[in-house]
Chains A and B, each alone.
Chain A
Amino acid sequence: MNAIAQHAQLHSTPLQSGALQIRGLSKSYRIEGQPLPVLQNINLDVRPGEFVSVVGASGCGKSTLLRLIVGLEADYQGEIVLDAKRVVATSLERGIVFQDHRLFPWMTLSQNIALALKNHPLSPAEKQRLVAEHIALVNLQGFENAYPHQLSGGMAQRAAIARALINKPKVLLLDEPLGALDALTRVRLQHELQRIWVQQRCTVIMVTHDIEEALYLGDRVIVMDAHPGRIKHEIRVDLPHPRDRTSTVLQGYKEQLLEELVGH
């Protein structure tokens, strides 16, 4: 705990950074010469330190939205602006965790996490300390030298979260990070994600299929519609963190959200 507090001081970024503005964002792919709209006129304002969940049917472009924000897809209409800078390419200011952990199988857990610090002007000793701190943050002490194939799915995903956090990104993007895990591990990791986010307070946008997960973690839940992908609805979850997953208030939001998604 102490080490984490020190780390926060060391890398202190002004709390106001991490403001994301998306204005009139549209994106289409070309399939056999025909433009296929994936996202249409997305407008979204995310406050610094806010946790936004995005839910919606498959094909509503929610993963594409994250890929655009992180900078893996460059070609888009409209504006994606992070702290007054337009997003044009990938940057260490924006971290992402994919559904598949994407740890490099040829590196040990600590090598994988250390790779994210490759271009930091820190001394090797400082880097080593940061890596150890982040391994502790996600409770993976003792597995530093394990190769990814020796880790369980939940452990690998926690390592991926540590790799995304070690650069202190202004925005952390989570693309169905717990989607491939079993139910029990998922609940445990939701709890850990909440704890980590309360500690780090970076801006988070999480895409998920799981309505309960979206409500449990999000300050806001964005509902998207498909063909073409657009924002359909938005729910503000007025509950302080950390939350109780059995709260009746969450239950009420859940019914509201189900109504919105399934429609009657």
Chain B
Amino acid sequence: MSRILAKSRGLLLPLLLIGGWEYLSRQGAAGAYAFVPLSSIGAALIELLGNGELLINLWASLARTSTGLALGILSGVLLGVLMALSAIANRLIGPLFHSIRQVPMLGWIPLIAMWFGNGEFSKVLIVSLAAFYPMVLNTYQGFSHVEQRYREVGHVLALSRWQRFRHVLLPAALPSIATGVLHALAFAWVTAVGSELFLSSGAGLGNLMMNAEAGSRMEVIVLSVLCIGLCGYLMTLLFTLLSRHVLRWRNIR
């Protein structure tokens, strides 16, 4: 019994919030408008599941996030490795990279919209940029902090440059890269929904919210918010489990 209680401790706060929400929704007409009753949210869920709108929009947002994430991780790791392994590249690219990354993601949206329009390409570009920054930073960090004593073993064993990269530098940098992916994941998801709010064309949870706002359907907005939070949480959870398996050699107690 106590073990079940211990396991469900994380549910306590959400349950309290739901209870409080329902209580507030019963405080007159104003309360019912600002805090839509749980029953209408449930009805909206059934309605949107029934007509497929929820899944179509959810799927569009997830696909956009994954594409952008994959592109951002790939290019971020490549640039991070390049900057860590080549002093010339670091001196050439470093200052530019560090100034550009000071511009907040929202600041890019008008410029990208002017250049590339408000279609799919612009949204994926924004998502991949959001994933790109943390990947470059963490990859660079990981590769430039490989302990000298491990590098020396690579030399003593007469490994080639590529073998030293593959068997020494890369695994040593992997924990840092995993941290980068975890950040990139969170940024990419948030930015995907953000770009849908600003560049409102096509499907996506952000568009679902914008349309619901236009039609003053508060319960759909709340449902979208819940969906966004839950999906983000699940993605982080999945990746944490995956990286715990890949990095099982680490001594974490």
Which residues of A line the B interface, CB within 8 A? 70-72, 90-92, 95-96, 98, 100, 102, 104-107, 115-116, 118-119, 147-149
CB atoms of A90 and B158 under 8 A apart = yes
CB atoms of A90 and B251 under 8 A apart = no
- Top 8 closest pairs, chain A to chain B, by CB: A149-B251, A106-B171, A106-B249, A147-B249, A90-B155, A102-B153, A92-B158, A116-B157
Interface residues of B in 158-187 (CB under 8 A from A): 158-160, 163, 167-168, 171-172, 174
Residues from chain B with Cβ under 8 Å of A148 in the complex: 249
B250 within 8 Å of A (CB atoms): yes
Instruction: State the Cβ distance, B151 to closest chain A Cβ, in Å.
Output: 10
Cβ-Cβ contact count across A and B, 8 Å cutoff: 54
CA distance A100 to B158 in the complex (A): 19
B213 within 8 Å of A (CB atoms): no
CA distance A106 to B158 in the complex (A): 19
CA distance A106 to B156 in the complex (A): 18
Q: Which of B153, B155, B156 touches A104 (beta carbons < 8 Å)?
A: B153
Given contacts A115-B167, A149-B249, 11 further A-B contacts (CB under 8 A): A70-B156, A72-B152, A92-B158, A96-B156, A102-B149, A105-B249, A106-B171, A107-B249, A118-B163, A119-B160, A149-B251
Q: Which of B149, B160, B168 touches A98 (beta carbons < 8 Å)?
A: B149
CB 8 Å contact bits of B224-253 with A (1 = contact, 0 = none): 000000000000000000000000111100
CA distance A98 to B250 in the complex (A): 21
Which residue on chain A has the smallest CB distance to residue B152?
A: A72
In terms of DSSP, what is the predominant structure of the interface of chain B? Answer: helix
B150 within 8 Å of A (CB atoms): yes
Of the A-B pairs whose beta carbons lie under 8 Å apart in the complex, a sample of 13, sorted by A's number, is A90-B155, A104-B167, A104-B168, A105-B250, A105-B251, A106-B171, A106-B172, A115-B167, A118-B163, A119-B159, A147-B249, A147-B251, A149-B250
CB atoms of B158 and A104 under 8 A apart = no
Instruction: State the Cβ distance, A69 to closest chain B Cβ, in Å.
Output: 11
CB atoms of A106 and B160 under 8 A apart = no
CA distance A116 to B168 in the complex (A): 12
In terms of DSSP, what is the predominant structure of the interface of chain A? Answer: loop
- Most chain B CB within a 10 A radius of its CB, from A71, A106, A116: A106
Instruction: State the Cβ distance, B61 to closest chain A Cβ, in Å.
Output: 35
Which residue on chain B has the smallest CB distance to residue A112?
A: B153
Residues from chain A with Cβ under 8 Å of B251 in the complex: 105, 147, 149
CA distance A90 to B72 in the complex (A): 39
CA distance A1 to B251 in the complex (A): 35
Which residue on chain B has the smallest CB distance to residue A117?
A: B157
CB atoms of B153 and A106 under 8 A apart = no
CA distance A92 to B159 in the complex (A): 10
CB atoms of B149 and A106 under 8 A apart = no
CA distance A89 to B160 in the complex (A): 13
Interface residues of B in 107-125 (CB under 8 A from A): none
Residues from chain B with Cβ under 8 Å of A102 in the complex: 149-150, 152-153
Known: A72-B152, A100-B149, A149-B251. A106 touches B159 (CB 8 A): no
Which residue on chain B has the smallest CB distance to residue A105?
A: B249
- Most chain B CB within a 10 A radius of its CB, from A100, A104, A147: A104
Instruction: State the Cβ distance, B248 to closest chain A Cβ, in Å.
Output: 8
Residues from chain A with Cβ under 8 Å of B248 in the complex: 147
Q: Which of A98, A100, A118 touches B159 (beta carbons < 8 Å)?
A: A118
CA distance A98 to B151 in the complex (A): 13
Residues from chain A with Cβ under 8 Å of B168 in the complex: 104
Known: A104-B153, A104-B168. A119 touches B174 (CB 8 A): no
Instruction: State the Cβ distance, B237 to closest chain A Cβ, in Å.
Output: 24
Instruction: State the Cβ distance, A106 to closest chain B Cβ, in Å.
Output: 4
Residues from chain B with Cβ under 8 Å of A96 in the complex: 156
Instruction: State the Cβ distance, B203 to closest chain A Cβ, in Å.
Output: 42
Residues from chain B with Cβ under 8 Å of A92 in the complex: 157-158
Which residue on chain A has the smallest CB distance to residue B246?
A: A106
CA distance A119 to B167 in the complex (A): 13
Instruction: State the Cβ distance, A73 to closest chain B Cβ, in Å.
Output: 10
Residues from chain B with Cβ under 8 Å of A116 in the complex: 157
Instruction: State the Cβ distance, A71 to closest chain B Cβ, in Å.
Output: 8
Which residue on chain A has the smallest CB distance to residue B170?
A: A106
